[in-house]
Amino acid sequence: DAGITQSPRHKVTETGTPVTLRCHQTENHRYMYWYRQDPGHGLRLIHYSYGVKDTDKGEVSDGYSVSRSKTEDFLLTLESATSSQTSVYFCAISTTSGAYNEQFFGPGTRLTVL
Amino acid sequence: AQTVTQSQPEMSVQEAETVTLSCTYDTSENNYYLFWYKQPPSRQMILVIRQEAYKQQNATENRFSVNFQKAAKSFSLKISDSQLGDTAMYFCAFMKHGGSEKLVFGKGMKLTVNP
C-alpha cells in the first residue's frame, strides 16, 4: 500500500459544515493527489501537490481546497459541504523508479453529506 | 486534454475462460503511460499492469496481458484463466510522461466472474 493512510475512513456530515480529510504517507514521495470516485465517472482529480506548499487544481476542484505543510501530509478541505460532494475520496502518491512512474492509492474515505 | 473511454460498462465471464476489456484514449502526446487498475469490493485500487507508450512490446503480468495499439489509441486488457477473485471494477488510465504525473481515468467496467 506504499505506506498511505487516510483518515477518517468514513464520515457523515451535514450540508454547510466544514470537513477535512487527511492523507498521510510514510515514504517522502514528492507528488500527492486527491481524487473523488462517483458511479459513472470513474476517478477524477480534485487537487494535487508537487511539494510542500506547492499545489495545483485538478479537473473538479470547485468547492475544495488543499494544504501541504509537511511532505507526509496532504489535507483536503470542503469549506462548506454540499450533497454533491458525497463521494469516495482517494489519496494517491506517485513513485518513480528509473523510467517508471506509478501511482499508489490509499484505502479511500467514504463521505456522506446529508 | 486527454480522454479515456471504456465503452463496456459491464461484462461477465465463466471461471477459467478468457475475457478482454476494451479501452480507447485520445491524446496528442507522444510519450505517456497507460494503466489498468482493479478495484475489488474492498474498494482498494490495485495496479494490474502498465504499458509505456514508447515500447512496442505488449506488457504481460502473469494471467494479465495487454494489446497496445498506439496508432489506433487502443489499450485492451486480456485476462486469461479467469478466477473468482478477478471479479471487480476495472479502470483504464492515462498518464502523460513528465510533469505532474496526473492520472486520467476511464469510467470503469464491472467484471463478474461466474463459477
Interchain CB distance below 8 Å, A102 and B47 = yes
Give mean pLDDT, residues B47-58.
Answer: 92
E strands, chain B, are 3-5, 10-14, 19-21, 24-26, 32-39, 46-52, 60-61, 64-69, 74-79, 88-96, 103-105, 109-114
Q: What is the pLDDT of residue A99?
A: 58
Interchain CB distance below 8 Å, A48 and B102 = yes
Q: Helix, strand or coil for residue B56?
A: coil
Pick the range with the lowest mean pLDDT from A96-110, B10-24, B44-58: A96-110
pLDDT at B44 over 90: yes
Reported as a pLDDT band with limits 50, 70 and 90, residue A97 is: low
Provide the residue type at B58 as one letter.
N
Neighbours of B6 (CB within 10 A): 19
Q: What does the DSSP assignment read for A22-59?
A: EEEESS--S-EEEEEEETTTEEEEEEEEEETTEEEE-T
Interchain CB distance below 8 Å, B101 and A101 = yes
Q: What percent of chain A has pLDDT over 70?
A: 95
Give contacts of B32 with chain A, Cβ < 8 Å: none
State the Cα–Cα distance between residues B83 and A33, nearest whole angstrom. 32
Reported as a pLDDT band with limits 50, 70 and 90, residue B11 is: very high
Entry field: residues in chain B: 115
Provide the residue type at A81 as one letter.
A
State the Cα–Cα distance between residues A103 and A79, nearest whole angstrom. 27
The larger pLDDT score, comparing residue A93 to residue A100, is at A93
Q: What is the pLDDT of residue B113?
A: 97
Give mean pLDDT, residues B37-65.
Answer: 93
Reported as a pLDDT band with limits 50, 70 and 90, residue A67 is: very high
**Which of A32, A54, A102 should be substituted to probe chain B, the one whose Cβ sees the most B Cβ atoms within 10 Å?**
A102
Q: Is B106 on the interface with A (CB under 8 A)?
A: yes
Pick the range with the lowest mean pLDDT from A58-72, A76-90, A96-110, B20-34: A96-110
